[in-house]
Structure 1
Amino acid sequence: MRGPGVPARPLDARALAALAANPGCRRRALLDGAGVDKAALADALGAPAAFGQSQFAFARGHAFETRVKADGGAELLRLVHERLDPTAEPPRQASVADLTATDTEGRTARTALALREATGAGTWTLLDHPMLALPVAGSPAFLEPDAVVVHPDGTWTVVEIKSFPVLDGAADPAKVGAAARQAAVYVLALEEVAARLDPPPRVRDRVLLVCPKDFSNLPTASAVDVRKQRAVTARQLARLTRLEEIADALPEGVCFSPELPAEELTAAVDTVPATYAPECLATCELAFHCRARARAAGEVTALGRAVRAELGGMRTVAEVLAAAHGVTGAEDDPAVAALRRAAALRAEALTAAAAQEVPCP
């Protein structure tokens, strides 16, 4: 599906969190599951979307993470101890697990082994960029959290390091929420590893969010409860249609290679149903293409999920207008009755405005 010789683009936690927020979109589920580069695809379709960090922001974030993890993660472990486990022994004799492996599957296996060994050690252990696997729509997604810490009592904590600042003790709520949703995906992946151990260790439902303090490069941290985000993400990922079922409904030989002619590529993308919503503009590279197609088809989803939910079985703007003007729709349908009442009020307002118009001299 990606095209000959095109490498797979791996799923990350940010993409999974966005996918879970719109589980009805088969287009995103298939393209992400097949490893299609949606940014390159959007460019080829003539509807590019600007995503990702600038080089400056990336370099700043990398420098901050390096500082947080310096000296064997001493500062990071101190923050975990202070914010999440102050009654435990201070992390003076902590160890850093060796996660070296030749490929993704090897790193995943090495991470699982390191977690198993650290759980019974009774000391603090830091796993720097471990590799976790999470089944998504019948296919494994490999995820790489910033860090995982094993406490002396054998419990596991996800650590998320972000470069956005905490100013006067508060951070941007939208950015904190996005970080919490991303961390919830890592918690789910860790629980998959824990479930294979006997007895299974507890994955803590509070993660550590580490950010720069004020305008400095000094780290500060807070514990973030991700139980709600974890439950929502697990429920939404479980609702995703299996990739095999989506692929089986496609025409034989369909391909999403950006090297294809624009007309052929557009036809291929249109074979996969999409569920567009305005929220997609902040999370999906194909959002501008899907919005244009939704508007061209007159789909009410382009107006937002709240409007879509109020309109019952009406799927297009044409159906809505026909119901509002009494052409179609049952009188006892609450959505139809509300539309006709709104149309009558609008007509009354226009008539009154026209009657009060004073011609210009």
Structure 2
Amino acid sequence: MSEFHGSASPPFPRQPDRTPPPPTRTTGLRQRLAELRGPEVAARALDARALAALAANPGCRRRAILDGAGVHKATLASALGSPSAFGQSQFALTRGNAFEAKVKADGGAELLRLAHRVLAPGSEPPQDAAVPDLTAAGPEGRTARTALALREAAGAPGTWTLLDHPMLALDVAGSPAFLEPDAVVVHPDGSWSVVEIKSFPMLDGSADPAKVGAAARQAAVYVLALEEVAARLETSPRVRHHVLLVCPKDFSNQPTASAVDVRRQRAVTRRQLARLTRLDEIADALPEGLCLSPELPAEQLTEAVDAIPAAYAPECLSACELAFHCRARARADDAVTSLGRSVRAELGALTTVTEVLAAARGETGDPDDPAVAALRRAARLRAQALGRTEAAVCR
């Protein structure tokens, strides 16, 4: 039998180190966002509509962290006692789904015909178009499957390819957002086009400008995500900046389409997304143990929501479910943000309505401050106008 002496090592194999690796910053952020959302509360996916609204107000940390954590803002607003009227009705959703199914029937033959007529009239008409299967497990799997289908389509020029509800990923404030456009068309020349299918009508070849603008902002997000995929391919396919907008024609249910140039919306959205504060920075600044579960008492939930900085503007009323709550808080705090971004920008260091009125009356403020000088001049002109009106009434 062998003996061991001194510091000699025994001839036994070294046991593997079973100590779990330290959590990465990404893992820590996901856990923090899950805690913020609430125990056993399913995350709500961040879609392109919400992402476009977030990009339109990049200074709002409240919306950024809530969207990043997947908080259902409509449920949260109801729990706060400020239910929102923002969002589509069930009837509109049902009508939109039925119209989309009609457009994509028969393997998307009608959709491809519209894409050929509107976006590429000089190319070969679609006949035996490819419609790849994008089924996969989870959003990461679907994103990878979509990227593979796009790579294969780009490597097979001369044919049309229709991707029905592909999954795209876009980095938003340091966290991936998974986006699902209605469709993406790969042209015979290998270029890619985003397809937006909407249920609002197109009358005499034109639609409601406000609705078209909203659709363009949403499509611009998809274009940015597609450009991320194209940049990773060796062939670097071209992502077209004209998207295909498909709507019902006049008062019928027959589809028609037009090309919408989203270059301006794409540039604005890209710039605004770059200005977003990273989610890990926002999360690190929040109180420890902060939770936004709708099951919490209203007072505790209100205190938790108000602990996250917000940047309210009247435009939020048409884009965010928490707008009514944030507006009430802005008014209670006497904040000038409730008057609009343009007014807030003109007032400089004056952040409350009380400060603005005091500066206009000459009670506070530096006379050399352009904002203060403009307020006092406006107050004098108002007083003169009211004085003349009263004198005319007396006579």
Does the residue aligned with 1:331 lie in a helix, a strand or coil? coil
Equivalent residue in structure 2 for 1:47, among 57, 72, 82: 82
- Show the counterpart of 2:26: none
- Show the counterpart of 1:284: 320
- Show the counterpart of 1:346: 382
- Show the counterpart of 2:110: 75
Query: How far apart are 1:331 and its partner, in Å?
Result: 1.5
- Show the counterpart of 2:371: 335
Query: How far apart are 1:312 and its partner, in Å?
Result: 1.4
Unaligned runs of 5+ in 1: none
Describe how 1:168-317 pairs up with structure 2 within 5 A: 168-317=204-353
Please give the alpha-carbon distance, in whole angstroms, between the structure 1 residues aligned to 2:269 and 2:291: 29
- Show the counterpart of 1:149: 185
One-letter code of the match for 1:111?
T
Does the residue aligned with 1:96 lie in a helix, a strand or coil? coil
Equivalent residue in structure 1 for 2:65, among 30, 50, 54: 30
Contact 2:86 2:317 in 1 (8 A): no
Matched, 1:11 2:54: no
Please give the alpha-carbon distance, in whole angstroms, between the structure 2 residues aligned to 1:57 and 1:353: 51
Please give the alpha-carbon distance, in whole angstroms, between the structure 2 residues aligned to 1:140 and 1:215: 40
Query: How far apart are 1:239 and its partner, in Å?
Result: 0.3
Does the residue aligned with 2:193 lie in a helix, a strand or coil? strand
Contact 2:58 2:275 in 1 (8 A): yes
Matched, 1:102 2:137: yes
One-letter code of the match for 2:334?
G
Please give the alpha-carbon distance, in whole angstroms, between the structure 1 residues aligned to 2:107 and 2:311: 46
Query: How far apart are 1:356 and its partner, in Å?
Result: 4.5
Matched, 1:59 2:103: no
Structure 1 residues 138-183: Cα deviation after superposition (integer angstroms, max 9, x where no partner) = 0000000000011111110000000000112210000000000000
* Greater than 6 Å deviation, 4+ residue runs: none
One-letter code of the match for 1:40?
T
Please give the alpha-carbon distance, in whole angstroms, between the structure 2 residues aligned to 1:61 and 1:27: 30
Query: How far apart are 1:349 and its partner, in Å?
Result: 3.1
Structure 1 residues 275-325: Cα deviation after superposition (integer angstroms, max 9, x where no partner) = 000000000000000000000111111011121121112111011111111
Query: How far apart are 1:57 and its partner, in Å?
Result: 1.6
Q: Report the identity percentage.
A: 79
Equivalent residue in structure 2 for 1:86, among 102, 121, 124: 121
One-letter code of the match for 1:109?
A
- Show the counterpart of 1:131: 167
Contact 2:164 2:183 in 1 (8 A): yes
Please give the alpha-carbon distance, in whole angstroms, between the structure 1 residues aligned to 2:200 and 2:369: 49
CA RMSD of aligned residues (A): 1.2
Contact 2:203 2:250 in 1 (8 A): yes
One-letter code of the match for 1:320?
V
One-letter code of the match for 1:72?
G
TM-score where L is the length of structure 1? 0.97
Please give the alpha-carbon distance, in whole angstroms, between the structure 2 residues aligned to 1:221 and 1:168: 11
Please give the alpha-carbon distance, in whole angstroms, between the structure 2 residues aligned to 1:39 and 1:101: 29
Bigger-Rg structure (1/2): 2
